[in-house]
Amino acid sequence: MKEPLHLLITGEIGAGKTFLVQRLLQHSQRSVKGFITRWMLSDHHVKSGVYIFPAVTTTHFCTAQNCVATRDKPGFNIIYPKVFETYGVELLSVPSSQNGSLLLMDELGFMESEAPLFCKTVLNVLAGNIPVIAVVKKQETPFLDEVRAHKNAVLYCVTPENREILYRALISKIEFWNS
């Protein structure tokens, strides 16, 4: 049986999922494609929107074209699935000429469930042979359940207690991808 190609990272908020992924990427010799999502703060340091950016970027421009959700009051998000369907799909499209890439998806959560083309693209990427590192929220949706159960992926749960051990164990996967 072929070993699963993709690494899925899950865990509680603050467990160190993104930090673990950033450390792993430092060992990759592949070009990194894909996306990151980040809450951006308003002028009053209040979370005001979630934006999607290229996986490797030094500047974070926040526009309507990369805003996937806004918060109009605490605890209430307005989701913009069309951004996942357009920009998100674009960020996951890696030309065959770039097969030496690694795809990062940081992170997949419930908001993507309202974007069927994006969900299909993620599942197609997982069915492919470009290595993937994805942070997957613990929420339960049919899309996230399908991602977590994908036959080409292994799900790792990071905790503050195991993240160093997990980091050392997963470096071997990255080194395998490099060879």
How far apart (Å, rounded) are the C-alpha atoms in residues 73 and 70? 9
- Can you give the residue range of the structural domain that contains 59? 6-178
Kindly state whether residue 23 falls inside one of the protein's structural domains.
yes
Please report whether residue 1 resides in a domain.
no
Residue 62 belongs to some domain of the structure: yes
> Residue 108 maps to which CATH number?
3.40.50.300
Would 174 be classed as within a structural domain?
yes
Residue 134 lies in a domain: yes
Q: What does the pLDDT look like over 51-108, one tens digit per residue?
A: 999 998 777 788 899 999 987 766 667 999 999 999 999 999 987 556 778 999 999 9
Does 146 reside within a domain?
Answer: yes
Is residue 40 included in any domain, yes or no? yes
Q: Residue 133 forms beta bridges with which residues?
A: 7, 104
- Non-local CB neighbours of 127 within 8 Å, separated by 6+ positions: 150, 152
| Domains in the chain, number | 1
Residue 1 reports pLDDT greater than 50:
no
